[in-house]
Structure 1
Amino acid sequence: MNQLSQFQLATQLLYAVAIPYFFAAMWLEYRVIKRLQGQKPDIQGPIDIVQGYELKDSLCSIAMGALKLVTTGIALIWSLPLMAWLFQHRVFDLGLSSWWFLPLLIIGDDFCYYWYHRVAHRCALFWAEHSNHHTSEHYNLSTALRQSVLGPFYSFVFWLPLAWLGFDPVTLAFAHSVNLLYQYWIHSEVFEVHGWFEKIFNCPQHHRLHHAKNEEYHDCNYGGIFIVWDRWFGTYRDFKPGVAPVYGTLTPVLSTNPLKQGVMGWVHLLQKVGKAQGLVNKLKCLWLPPGWTPQQMS
């Protein structure tokens, strides 16, 4: 078995292990939450009130995770040939057997993820596909499965430079799977990780602030695996004593239908573009932050 085949097999194993891991972890978290509920809230810590699970909300998130797999498969029809073409015209020949290849691959993938994620919150065109990950007003492990349904169709552009630099698309698929699997466990209110680990890696106490819609926590903590990107690029925020995270989006989607959840970000954006007057304002609706509104609409 050659090295590329090993990466391909490892990716398949990750998905095979992920499904039982997801459901076992959700069951365990649910049991922990049931024990925590009813305890007196402590607003001096980042865990104010553990909201727990709501059945329809969680089922919607799980269904959206399944839909993401479908749309990812469809998007491979054009994303994979483009990445393969860039890889054929790569700048470097990176040795798969080198000791530094795997760490560089994971770091490079997460660096691209950071910039995708940051742009997805600051550019309406990408917020339209990413926003459905934030629509739940609950924060638990099932929320991690509320994936962007439309994102695979165009968000892959942020990873194209890696193929051009010399990372085979097969290895990029592996790294992306590792990144997504890592991010699952940080969608939890019931525990935190401190010490040296939280200085380098993304932890639940970081990511729950990212999901908060409070003004104090807007647009922060974009890292996937590593929180160091946020510390370096000025987007890191820590918990403010007395300010508990409030989850959801400023424009709520009041439905637990996974199809509606998956497309409503684009529906809202197209409605906004349709109401804007003039080509310039319509283009600004697409490229400026999602909260921007032309004067004619204000």
Structure 2
Amino acid sequence: MRTFLKLITISCLVLACHSKESAIQLVNPQTTQEQEQAALTKKLEDNWLLDLPTFDDSAIDRQLPYSPVALPTRPRLLKADGLTYRYDSLGRLVEGYANYTGTDIASTRQVYQYDKQGLQQVSFYWGSYPGTPLWLTRQTTFFSNQGGRIDRYFDGTFAYLLRFDQSGYLIWSGALKEQNSSTQVKGYSRAVRDSYHNVRLIRSTLEKAYTTEYEYDDKPNPFYLLGGLPAFTSPNNVIKETKRDQAGKLLSEIEYSYDYRADGYPIRKRSGTTVVDFVYAN
């Protein structure tokens, strides 16, 4: 009888331990965080139409390079962050390249082509050794709607919709589930601009859902209106960038400082140990 009771007691202890272990496994903080992130992402994806601009901007001059409006007179950026820039007779960016330096970087080249609607295609080339020809790695092609306004592009893998505010500034970019679809979006980024057209916040559901907040100086940004791939560029220079997940948890915080020319354009940008110099043609 005593032996039987001992067996029962041992069995109960084993079951209790097993139940306790199972309970502990169910409360995995990492799994819970991933589930919460997935739920938030799905909620944003399900409600993407709420963030999609619906007004008509057909009579508005778009922010360059999404329309052929004349470029303003401004210093022309020649070199920055490893790239050298070249322009056409209208002042539009036609090439950004980096030559092979032996140990630092390979040769790269970005070629920009335009049509009457604005930017039409960007081609990317790469070469691993000096003297060898560059080979085409990918192309990004822009498309216009029936009104002749650029409203989407294809990067070789995914198609993206573009939307602009009533002043012609890019504020929304959504990745389509299918290239020819206009209603099935798998993720998007939405920019909120202030009265100076600086991007103050970006909500994104691409890859992971997060928000990024920006603070600015009051000096002109040399990359603004430079052209190139779709980006939420701003007239002024970012001095602080704060990224959070959808629960508000801080993911990263970066601060930038600048040295300026007499006209306010930056000649040097610093962030930690990273330094970027800006060289202008005038």
Judge same fold: TM > 0.5, yes or no.
no
TM-score range, shorter chain: under 0.3
Structure whose alpha-carbon radius of gyration is higher: 2
